[in-house]
Structure 1
Amino acid sequence: MTTFDERERAFENKFAHDAEMQFRAEARRNKLLGLWAAELMGKTGDDAENYAKEIVKADLSKPEHEAVVQRVAMDLGGDADEATVRRKMDELLTVAKAQLIDEV
């Protein structure tokens, strides 16, 4: 195997790893967002966990983050608008990435 082939394989492995980590971070962010929204709605325990799972599934069924934003904003009613939900998503993505790094 040539050096070029080795470099190409390493690049492909890094790309796959980065894509997987981004997917996991976004799924974790959505769960954290669901837990945050559940808390604002007064849900606790299993109800909060189930709501968070619904938010993760919503993103998996329609891989458009806007669907999650709209769903959470609609569920929260007057407690948070779409802009607030987007800001919270940005904040929680940083938290999710840090959590994943700590787990490694």
Structure 2
Amino acid sequence: MATINDRENAFENKFAHDAEIQFKVDARRNKLLGLWAAELMGKSGDDAAAHAKDVVKSYFEEGGHEAVFGKVSSDLGSKADEATIRAKMSSLMHEAQSQIMTEQN
């Protein structure tokens, strides 16, 4: 019986760990996306950092990836179309995963 409980605990721990990693990856991607958008809008320094923070917040306050897309799309207006933003979101997701995995090791 102990081995079943051990396996169950191991699965629960792995699930929690994977969820934590995904949370960090999503937050990092959103920050990078916010910085990218800020650059397109001509912001730098503290203004760019504040914009990135607002993009990260939109994920939590408005509800997920589509909220982030909506925030960035609205902020950029005609500076980037939907395909460009979504492609950037995808490429930055890969970059964020790489950064987080490097930090974990």
Instruction: Please confirm whether the aligned pair reaches a TM-score higher than 0.5, indicating the same fold.
Output: yes
Matched to 1:27, the amino acid is: A
Contact 1:70–1:82 (8 Å) recurs in 2: no
Aligned to 1:101: 101
Aligned to 2:21: 21
Aligned to 2:86: 86
Give the structure-2-normalised TM-score: 0.94
Give the structure-1-normalised TM-score: 0.95
| Aligned equivalents of 1:88, 1:43: Cα separation in 2 | 18
1:57-96 maps to which residues of 2 (within 5 A)? Answer: 57-96=57-96
Question: How far 1:73 moved relative to its partner?
Answer: 1.0
Question: Once superposed, which parts of structure 1, at least 4 consecutive aligned residues long, lie more than 2 Å away?
Answer: none
| Aligned equivalents of 1:73, 1:83: Cα separation in 2 | 10
How many pairs align? Answer: 104
**Which SS does the other structure have where 1:62 is aligned?**
helix
Aligned to 1:9: 9
Provide structure 1 residue ranges, at least 5 long, that are not aligned to the other structure.
none
Contact 1:38–1:48 (8 Å) recurs in 2: yes
| Aligned equivalents of 1:82, 1:67: Cα separation in 2 | 13
